[in-house]
Amino acid sequence: MKWLLIICFTLVCCLSFAQQDKVKITAERNDDNTVTFFYEKNDPGSYVIYLYFNTLVNASSSDITQTVKGTKGTLFTLRPIDPKKGIGYGYGYRYLRGVRKAKVDKSFVYLLPYKNEASALVKPLNNISEKFFNKERDNNWAAYQFIFQKEDTICAIRKGKVVDVIDKFDNYKEGLSYSTDTNFVLVEHKDGSFAKYSVLRKGRMMVKKGDMVYPQTPIGVSGSYQANTHEMRLLLYYLSNAEFKRSNNKKTGKQEASRYTYINPLFYDKGETHSLLPNTTYTSSFLPEIIEKEMSKRERKRMYKK
């Protein structure tokens, strides 16, 4: 008997973190009547995949929620109840960038996002929903604007992998203070958290997708929204709700955004560790042990050979 394969795709677009065609799932029938599901992704970094069956004959399976990190691999295999017959199935899936049940270290100490001994004025950023749509402030919202006296190099604050780079926008437009069309570098950290460095100068990126960066690794150059200004905006967050239900397969972008929790990071500041105070100028400094904290022995040797 031939079974009709029906594949339903339901893709999530969330804060530009998950986009169409980042992840693809395929299924393959085997000679023993089992069916193996595979994933492929053309984007580095971690994704949570949610797969559900809307039709399933001669097999039993609950919905699948799984974190994937490699470029391709096996998700799972369906086994027939009656091994002499094939399996009939139809499925859909969704995905989000991040790690399911990420164990984020909120006590981690970061370096300031610019070169040693450089300075910047720090200002807190409003959530755009609060500022422009009169919504209540998100309790976990935290984001920073770093303002420089002149164009300056932006550096990584922690070791991680570059999982996304956008380098195509001329940010400056008269009267503009915010735009979703901005150049940025997105870095995923070991604990599943992300750092997004945005408002970077077009054509001045120093990293690409898949690169490994370390504290003080140059990643780009400060950009601007206004004439004669130089800035960079920093946002740290992680996926805190990666659970799906059939009833929420059509969540709105706003509802999906609530799946992420923002981090108010601790920074190293001339021998002290603390959160950044608003409207305060900070000069970057570091200790070798902070830079080396997440490095392997091989990475340390490579660093000191330079």
Domain extents in the chain = 6-97, 109-305
Greater pLDDT, 141 or 254: 141
In terms of C-beta density within 10 A (0-12 exposed, 13-18 middle, 19 or more buried), how is residue 47 classed? buried
**Count helices and strands in the chain by DSSP H and E runs:** 4, 21
Q: Which CATH number fits domain 109-305: 2.70.70.10, 1.10.940.10, 2.40.30.170, 2.30.42.10?
A: 2.70.70.10
Q: What is the pLDDT of residue 92?
A: 93
Is the domain spanning 6-97 CATH 3.90.550? The answer is no
- Tens of pLDDT, residue by residue over 203-233, are 999 999 999 999 999 999 999 887 778 999 9
Average pLDDT over residues 90-105: 94
Residues in the chain, how many? 306
Helix H or strand E encompassing 256: helix 253-257
Distance from C-alpha of 27 to C-alpha of 7, rounded to nearest angstrom: 10
Greater pLDDT, 4 or 213: 213
Q: Which residue has the tokens 């755009």?
A: 128
- Tens of pLDDT, residue by residue over 38-75, are 999 988 999 999 999 999 999 999 999 999 999 999 99
Greater pLDDT, 20 or 122: 122
Q: What is the pLDDT of residue 126?
A: 81
Q: For the chain, what is the mean pLDDT?
A: 85
For residue 185, the tally of other CB atoms under 10 A from its CB is 27
Alpha carbons within 13 A on the beta-carbon side of 160: 27
Distance from C-alpha of 214 to C-alpha of 237, rounded to nearest angstrom: 18
CA 175 to chain centre: 29
Closest CA to 51 of 69, 41, 40, 37: 37
For residue 180, the tally of other CB atoms under 10 A from its CB is 9
100: tokens are 């399911």
Q: What is the pLDDT of residue 75?
A: 96
Residues 6+ apart with CB under 8 A from 227: 172, 174
Cβ 194 vs Cβ 236: under 8 Å: yes
C-beta pairs of 179-182 under 8 Å, 24+ apart in sequence: 179/225, 180/16, 182/223
Please spell the DSSP secondary structure of 115-139, one letter per residue: -TT-EEEEEE---HHHHHH-PPPPT
pTM here? 0.86
